[in-house]
A and B are shown apart, each in its own frame.
Chain A
Amino acid sequence: MASILMQKSQQADQYEKERLEHTPWVEKYRPKNLDDVAAQDHAVKVLKKTIESANLPHMLFYGPPGTGKTSTILALSKQLYGPNLYKSRVLELNASDERGISIVRQKIKNFARLTVSNPTKDDLENYPCPPYKIIILDEADSMTNDAQSALRRTIENYSSVTRFCLICNYITRIIDPLASRCSKFRFKSLNNDNALNRLKYIAEEEHINLNRNEPVLEEVLKISGGDLRKAITFLQSATKLNNSLKGAQDLEDEDVQMLGEEGETNADGTITISSVREIAGVISDSVINEIAEVIKAKDHKRIITEINEIILQGWSAQQVLDQLHDKFILDDQINSLAKNGIAKTLFTVDKRLNNGTDEHVQLLDLCLQVAKIL
């Protein structure tokens, strides 16, 4: 009997362990309190004041993805209520999850109506425990205008017992009447140092085996364009793949020899710049340089062949476009007039790609047009 129970509990442990393994690091390393939030000094300072007074306005957080908006409000809530009350006082809603405003409204209604357990003495001592609940609406800019207007009424109706926190990337997509009811907090793009420190911290915690000869973490940050969430996710994917590769090598070595000769990248079992790039779908600089050269040579037949090869390699046109953009716009040898034209072409093709057009045709057009301008 006892052994079965033991086994059961072991399995439960194992399950828990596996679950943890699957927890995205983004969740695992979310800042626990406002001080941990990377690089949003201004917002954090203001919010800290509100904790002291325990008087929270409705809030609107906006800024690029991965800059800590959700993390901030979550940390703030935790600091306001403590772990015990948190569940009953904070509601996280995702606009893109349940789009219908009626569903959103129903959920808000139910939540607002829910009687709250009184804070324990312990909680009261450690946390401000203000007498309202917090409703977090993530991705609020994906709500339709109608839904937003409807939300406005809802906010008013429940303002005595709730505080809303809207989170979005583009403040312009929030209708004015709604925006004007909230205190707005702008979240800037992270500066590299702060973000890098965070990545370093995670790398240490997770014992990631980085290649010491290359600035891998810097590269991770670069390809994620200042989006810390993306950066952490890339890091996690790379680690996962790397760990299984290592595990495989430890297990059986003889099988590997059957594989092709290209297997040199991960040979030493560390995460390298190129492995991170592959995981992020980023094209290597040599390929991009080659494209740029062919374009500059202005030989149309060669351009056609080159683009054909790129497509056969499976690269996404969007990615090529993004990287060509960086390449040409930062190229000092191109005069600003030409850059102007190139930017315009990039814009047009980008727009077309967004309309779900054919990648091959569009990429070829891009390259030929740029060649014409240069």
Chain B
Amino acid sequence: MSLWVDKYRPKNLGSLSYHGTITQNLQALARSGDFPHLLIYGPSGAGKKTRIYATLNEIFGSQVEKLKIDVKTFVTSSNRKLEFNVLSSAYHLEITPSDMGNNDRVVIQDLLKDIASIEQVDFNNQSSSKTKHRFKVVIINEADSLSRDAQAALRRTMEKYSSNIRLILVCNSISNIIPPIKSRTLLIRIPSPSTEEISSILSHVARKESVKFSSTNEAEINKFLGTLADNSNRNLRKALLSFETVAMQNETIALNNSSLSIINLDWEVLIRNLSVTIRQNRNVATLAKVRVTMYELLSHCIPARTILKTLLFNLLELFTQQTLIEELVDLGSVFDERLSLGQKSIFHLEGFVAKAMVAIDNALS
């Protein structure tokens, strides 16, 4: 009984349903049995990982889905033990550098060196057999969070081990990737699917799962699914999960959107309520109340940057004055930067709220 999001995940390139050109390119690479280092980027929930695994599946066969997780330990120069997880199959492995903290450079260098040397030996052994694949694939998740140091080191590694390692870097944006890496990889951009693409996937799932709607009118159903897609900010994963949630909560889904309240994420609701509070009560006491929620969100590992951004966009929806919108966004970007430069995010979150209250005060008076 797997989740719909897993159950209907395309396993090979042929069954991917959108971004035809990209699929075509990937298919071409897969056919040639080899590919250059890749840098795959795009918003979350756009299907980056699905495409990567589908490609690997095409090259290596379904063995790549037999995943196991290993805990590797690494002893840092300061003699501290660092544990991180490596997800691997016989043909590839997957790492997430944020697990490694400030030591990402050394850890990745070591790891790749290990893999490269092992692969080299393997290659020598099998040289008489006709295996096509002389390389191992290393997927690096969240590559944009790699330190500059690690990226610089990676650039050398890419050249050094180009004969037996293929890197696939995955990230949301390439802004933080240093140019040498960009120029040494094949960039593949995966945009979010469009609302229509998501709704068509949702309706496909609805058919397969015989989801019942309060009406059988196709247009109405599509409109409902479109709302669901928009609500997910075109994140396919989110859309599928929220759709399954709605379907589970209701025997028959009412198409008048009354069943949709449940799909709003708990933390997003908290932030939306914050924005309403900020609009209504702009005083010192409210600031203290806002702080409770801010700490609540932070304590639940919601990144401060996400909190700030979500709050900002919620506020923008509440107002129409052009100058106010300008000012709120400007404040948002100032405090967004402070989150990067400072140490304790609570100062900057509250700073934003306080300044936003003043801005709203000025705009409304």
- Tell me the A residues contacting B by CB distance below 8 Å: 7-8, 11, 18-19, 22, 24, 65, 94, 96-97, 99, 142, 229-230, 233-234, 237, 240-241, 243-245, 247-249, 251-252, 255-256, 258-263, 265-266, 278-281, 298, 300-301, 304, 311-319, 349, 352-353, 355-362, 364-365, 368-369, 371-372
* A97/B28 in contact, CB under 8 A: no
Given contacts A313-B192, A358-B305, contact A229 B14 (CB under 8 A): no
B179 on interface, CB distance cutoff 8 Å? yes
How far is B172's CA from A37's CA once the two chains are assembled, in angstroms?
38
In the bound complex, residues from chain B placing their C-beta under 8 Å from that of A315 are 189
Cross-chain contact A312 with B43 (CB below 8 angstroms): yes
CB-based closest 7 A-B pairs: A260-B20, A314-B42, A365-B333, A248-B28, A318-B175, A312-B192, A259-B20
Query: How far is it, in angstroms, between the C-alpha of A281 and the C-alpha of B189 when the chains are bound?
Result: 8
Q: Which residue of A lies closest to B14 (CB)?
A: A258
Let me know if B326 and A368 touch, CB within 8 A: yes
Residue of A261, A318, A357 contacting most chain B CB atoms (<10 Å): A357
Instruction: Give Cα A266–Cα B305 distance, bound, in whole angstroms.
Output: 40
A91 to chain B, nearest CB (A): 16
> What is the size category of the interface that chain B forms with chain A?
35 or more
Q: Is A96 in contact with B326, judged by CB distance below 8 angstroms? A: no
Contact of A361 with B312 in the complex, beta carbons under 8 Å: yes
Which B residues between 311 and 361 are near A, CB-CB below 8 angstroms?
312, 316, 320, 322, 325-326, 329-330, 332-333, 336-337, 339-341
Q: Is B217 an interface residue (CB 8 A)?
A: no
Among residues of A, the one whose C-beta sits closest to the C-beta of B197 is: A260
Residue B231 interfacial (CB < 8 Å): no
Most interface-central of A247, A265, A368 (chain B CB within 10 A) = A368
User: Distance in Å from the Cβ of B237 to the closest Cβ of chain A?
Assistant: 14
Extra A-B contacts (20), CB below 8 Å, given A7-B128, A360-B309, A365-B330: A18-B163, A96-B153, A97-B156, A241-B29, A244-B28, A244-B31, A248-B31, A248-B32, A249-B28, A259-B23, A261-B20, A279-B186, A304-B316, A313-B189, A316-B174, A355-B341, A357-B340, A361-B309, A361-B332, A368-B326
Complex-state Cα separation, A244 to B25, whole angstroms = 8
Within 8 A of A (CB), among B82-118: none
B38 to chain A, nearest CB (A): 10
List, in ascending order, chain B residues with CB within 8 A of A261's CB: 20
For A96, the chain B residues whose CB sits under 8 A away are 152-153, 156
With known contacts A233-B184, A251-B31, A362–B18 Cβ distance under 8 A: no
* B31–A263 CB distance below 8 A: no
List the A side residues contacting B43 at CB < 8 Å.
Answer: 311-312, 314
How far is it, in angstroms, between the C-alpha of A24 and the C-alpha of B46 when the chains are bound? Answer: 31
Considering the chains assembled together, what is the distance between the CA atoms of A134 and B212 in angstroms? 77
Contacts of B32 in A (CB 8 A): 243-244, 247-248
Residues of B with C-beta under 8 A to A356? 176, 340
Could you give 5 example pairs across A and B, Cβ below 8 Å?
A237-B36, A263-B20, A300-B325, A314-B173, A314-B192
How far apart sit A349 and B19, CA to CA, in the bound complex (Å)? Answer: 31
Question: What are the residues of chain B within 8 A of A311 when measuring CB–CB?
Answer: 43
Interface Cβ pair total, 8 Å cutoff = 172
Interface residues of B in 31-70 (CB under 8 A from A): 31-32, 35-36, 41-43, 46
A279 to B188, CA, bound (A): 7
Q: For B128, what are the chain A residues with a Cβ–Cβ distance below 8 Å?
A: 7
Bound together, the chains give a CA A291 to CA B153 distance in angstroms of 36
With A22-B163, A24-B159, A262-B20 as contacts: A355 and B326 at CB distance below 8 Å: no
B53, chain A: closest CB distance, angstroms = 18
Complex CA gap A252/B30 in Å reads: 13
Say yes or no: A245 contacts B25, CB within 8 Å.
yes
- Type the 1/0 row for B140-168, where 1 means its CB is closer than 8 Å to any CB of A: 00000000010011001001001100000
Q: Which residue of B lies closest to A366 (CB)?
A: B333
Instruction: Give chain B's interface secondary structure class.
Output: helix
Nearest-Cβ distance from residue B146 to partner chain A, whole angstroms = 12
Kindly list chain A residues whose C-beta atoms are within 8 Å of the C-beta of B31: 244, 247-248, 251-252
CB–CB B325/A255 < 8 A: no
Please report the C-alpha to C-alpha distance between residue A57 and residue B42 in the assembled complex, in whole angstroms: 49
Q: Is B125 an interface residue (CB 8 A)?
A: no
For B179, the chain A residues whose CB sits under 8 A away are 65, 230
With CB as the reference atom, state the residue of chain A lying closest to B32.
A244
Knowing A24-B159, A368-B330, A372-B326, the reply to whether A355 touches B186 (Cβ < 8 A) is no
Q: Tell me, in angstroms, the Cα distance from A28 to B312 when the chains sit together.
A: 51
Contacts of A365 in B (CB 8 A): 329-330, 332-333
Q: Decide yes or no: A240 and B24 within 8 Å by CB, A279-B186, A311-B43, A313-B192 being known contacts.
A: no
Beta-carbon nearest neighbor of A312 in chain B: B192
Residue ID in chain A nearest B20 by CB atoms:
A260
Please tell me which one of the listed residues B41, B183, B320 contacts residue A314 in the complex, with CB atoms under 8 A apart. B41
Residues of B within 8 A of A369 (CB): 326, 330
Closest beta carbon of chain B to A69's beta carbon, Å: 15
Q: How far is the CA of A364 from the CA of B334 in the complex (A)?
A: 12
Check B280 for interface membership: any CB of A closer than 8 A.
no
List the B side residues contacting A234 at CB < 8 Å. 183
A249 cross-chain contacts in B, Cβ below 8 A: 28
Closest B residue by C-beta to A265: B21
**In angstroms, how far is the closest chain B Cβ from the Cβ of A25?**
12
Q: Does the CB pair A362–B186 fall under 8 Å?
A: no
Task: Say if the beta carbon of B190 comes within 8 Å of chain A.
Answer: yes
Q: Across the interface, name the chain B residue whose C-beta is closest to A320.
A: B175
B33: min CB distance to chain A, Å: 9
Q: Are A240 and B186 interface neighbours, CB within 8 A?
A: yes
Q: Is the CB of B261 closer than 8 A to any CB of chain A? A: no
- Which residues on the A side are within 8 Å of B41 (C-beta)? 314, 316
In the assembled complex, B187 has its CB within 8 A of some CB on chain A = yes
Q: Are B28 and A255 in contact (CB under 8 A)?
A: no
In the bound assembly, the distance between CA atoms of A218 and B255 in angstroms comes to 54
A364, B20: Cα distance in complex, Å = 29
A30–chain B nearest beta-carbon distance, Å:
14
- Shortest C-beta distance, B173 to chain A (Å), equals 5
A18 vs B162: C-alpha distance when bound (angstroms) = 10
Instruction: Check B330 against A359 for contact (C-beta < 8 Å).
Output: no
